[in-house]
Amino acid sequence: MSNNLLKGKKGIIFGALNDMSIAWKVAERAHEEGAEFVLTNAPIAMRMGEINKLAESCGNALVIPADATDMDDLSNLFDKATEHLGGKIDFILHSIGMSPNVRKGKHYTETNYDFYHKTLDISAMSLHRVLKTAYEKDAVNDWGSVVALSYIAAQRVFPDYNDMADAKSLLESITRSFGYHYGIRNKVRINTISQSPTMTTAGSGVKGFDEFVAYAEDMSPLGNAGSIECANYVVSMFSDLTKYVTMQNLFHDGGYSFTGVSEKVIEKFKQ
Ligand code: NAI
């Protein structure tokens, strides 16, 4: 399905690891909608070579490795991407998350602070780094659109989400703060999409994830939003149809965030 919503638009997509990744679906949908883009991920994430398959299916998109916590990598990425795409870009997808504390099974109350730093840098500060690089290089066209992916643990406690909850709060705060400054200077808009739990490599790293997905499914009037639906939402945010939306955290969760309790969940407690 294509409505040419992104025809003539150029961008950078961070975070396509494999075909489960939300960024992977965004790349496929953005390509269908006529966008041209560069794909990027951490050098270590490219070892399996999966991203090359995606690049091929997206009109031989250029792939540029960049660790999103490394300013030199980001500078190189923006220079090469704008050169390759023939000028300024119109959209950026930040689809990056990783917590060494989650990976190593460290309980939130026993956090390892070196790991904690890494969680915040990779999953949140990286958005600031990307935006600062783009801002300094004046690499984004006026009315450009930046989307980062968040989760409702930024607002409410989900115990096993661990320090990623803190990272998501920071990510949403950076979205507002940078959104203000970039909006004033270039009318660039910056938003987060707060997505339903989704079966991906990052998602399934969270303890008890399957139960978590099932609970959210039963709590959401529309059911959980899938990754393809998320990609569609991202495409709409990159398009000119959403020009005046900025500095927002947009829930894409089938109504989960505003449901107190559902009949399906209550049913499970009936004696
Ligand atoms: P994923 O594992 O496919 O994507 C995470 C990406 O982050 C990977 O491509 C990984 O290589 C990249 N990454 C890690 N460290 C990096 C670094 N230093 N530099 C550059 N890239 C780095 O998983 P998914 O689920 O597609 O995650 C994408 C985003 O969606 C993340 O921000 C995640 O927190 C968010 N999200 C995911 C949900 C889920 O349930 N899967 C729910 C809500 C938000």
Q: Yes or no: say if 132 and 80 are a contact pair by the CB < 8 Å rule.
A: no
Ligand 1, closest atom to CA 45?
A: 11
| β-bridge mates for residue 250, sequence order | 193
Ligand 1: residue of 22, 64, 249 to mutate (most ligand atoms within 8 A of CB) is: 22
pLDDT per residue, tens digit, the chain (271 aa), is 789 999 999 999 999 999 999 999 999 999 999 999 999 999 999 888 899 999 999 999 999 999 999 999 999 999 999 999 999 999 999 999 999 999 999 999 999 999 999 999 999 999 999 999 999 999 999 999 999 999 999 999 999 999 999 999 999 999 999 999 999 999 999 999 999 999 998 888 877 889 989 999 999 999 999 999 999 999 999 999 999 999 999 999 999 999 999 999 999 999 8
Active site residue: 151, 182, 215, 256, which one? Answer: 151
Active site residue: 161, 182, 215, 233, which one? Answer: 161
Domain boundaries, the chain: 10-270
CA distances, 252 to each of 26, 208, 228 (Å): 14, 21, 12
> Which residue type is seen at 151?
Y
Q: Residue 73 has what pLDDT?
A: 98
- Residue 1 corresponds to which tokens in the numbers above? 């399905």
Q: Which ipTM value was assigned to this complex? A: 0.99
Return the CATH superfamily for domain 10-270: NAD(P)-binding Rossmann-like Domain (3.40.50.720)
Packing angle between helix 164-186 and helix 126-136, nearest 10 degrees? 20
Is there a binding annotation on residue 105?
Answer: no
In eight-state DSSP terms, residue 205 is: G
